[in-house]
Amino acid sequence: MPTNKTLKVATCQFAVGSDIQRNSRQIQKQILSAQVLGAEVVHFSECALGGYAGVAFTSWKKYDWDTLHHETEKICQLAKKTKLWIILGSNHRLTGSHLPHNSLYVISPKGEIVERYDKRFCTEDDLKYYTSGNHFPVVKIKGVLCGLLICYDLRFPELYRAYQKLGVRCIFDSFHNARKEGPTIHTTIMRPSLQAHASANYMWISAPNSSGYYQLWQSVFILPNGVIAKSLTRHKAGVMVNTIDLDESFYDASAPFRKDAIKGKLYSGKLVRDKRSRDKTIY
């Protein structure tokens, strides 16, 4: 059977809050908007449904897990009705006394949760509320191998490289850099960091960020050459659709030596064994 080589991705943002039902209504509304725009997969920000612990709420004691489950089922049914893939940020409850995971659910067009990514690198504040994950899920969507990451994971290039080694071509990278008092260092560095990861590993990156005021940076979609293809409007709910085309070629300066570098050969060409090359200073 022929393999699809294109995938239309909807990257969505809205002001994620503590009200699970309100979050759900926003998500469902944007899924329908994405369908109209011709999307095949709809991607949401970190904790889009369940709210981000430590920001939206500060304790799990009164957290409404029943409502979260009910609204998750609604979104699964909408995925089935619209025949769309959904990448949904949420909270995943664990048994016993373990803190929940900060997760991304992959919901298929059949309305089934077929994979889950748990945030691997939690910040020190995150660890007051969440348990870190430990696996790299890879999902093939319309012929495109896709991986998933969440927010603080961006600080660890090893994660992107690990996905590159697994053959991943697109990363669904969800964020919650929002509800702040004003600009921070994240406003300056987050998008360039994503661009560097995309170009170093030759992969597309969909990066939705909650738009709750103050939103530190707007959601972006990045090409394998590191170029931002499109952005959403800061502080405003929105949906944008971009196309991944595996047949399209981009500038890839690392291509000739990337595989060698991954294997540990950290130089290009032939290594010349010369005494002068080992000298610390040569005049």
Q: Give the domain CATH number at 35.
A: 3.60.110.10
Q: For residues 235 and 244, what is the distance between their CA atoms, to the nearest angstrom?
A: 26
Q: Is the N-terminal amide bond of 214 cis, ω within 30° of 0?
A: yes
- pLDDT of 178 reads 98
User: Please, which residues have CB within 8 angstroms of residue 185's CB and are 6 or more apart in sequence?
Assistant: none
Render each residue's pLDDT in the chain as its tens digit; 283 residues.
445 689 999 999 999 999 999 999 999 999 999 999 999 999 999 999 999 999 999 999 999 999 999 999 999 999 999 999 999 999 999 999 999 999 999 999 999 999 999 999 999 999 999 999 999 999 999 999 999 999 999 999 999 999 999 999 999 999 999 999 999 999 999 999 999 999 999 999 999 999 999 999 999 999 999 999 999 999 999 999 999 999 999 999 999 999 999 999 999 988 777 666 555 554 4
Asked whether residue 266 is domain-assigned, the answer is: no
- pLDDT of 1 reads 43
Asked whether residue 132 is domain-assigned, the answer is: yes
Asked whether residue 40 is domain-assigned, the answer is: yes
If you search the block for the tokens 């759900």, which residue do you land on? 24
Name the E strands within the chain. Answer: 6-13, 41-43, 85-92, 101-107, 113-118, 138-141, 144-150, 170-174, 204-207, 220-222, 228-231, 238-245
Specify the length of the chain in residues: 283
- pLDDT of 275 reads 63
Asked whether residue 196 is domain-assigned, the answer is: yes
Asked whether residue 282 is domain-assigned, the answer is: no
Q: What is the residue range of 216's domain?
A: 6-252
Asked whether residue 53 is domain-assigned, the answer is: yes
Asked whether residue 179 is domain-assigned, the answer is: yes
Structural domain total, the chain: 1
Q: Which two tokens stand for residue 139?
A: 């999902």
Asked whether residue 205 is domain-assigned, the answer is: yes
Q: For residues 107 and 255, what is the distance between their CA atoms, to the nearest angstrom?
A: 33
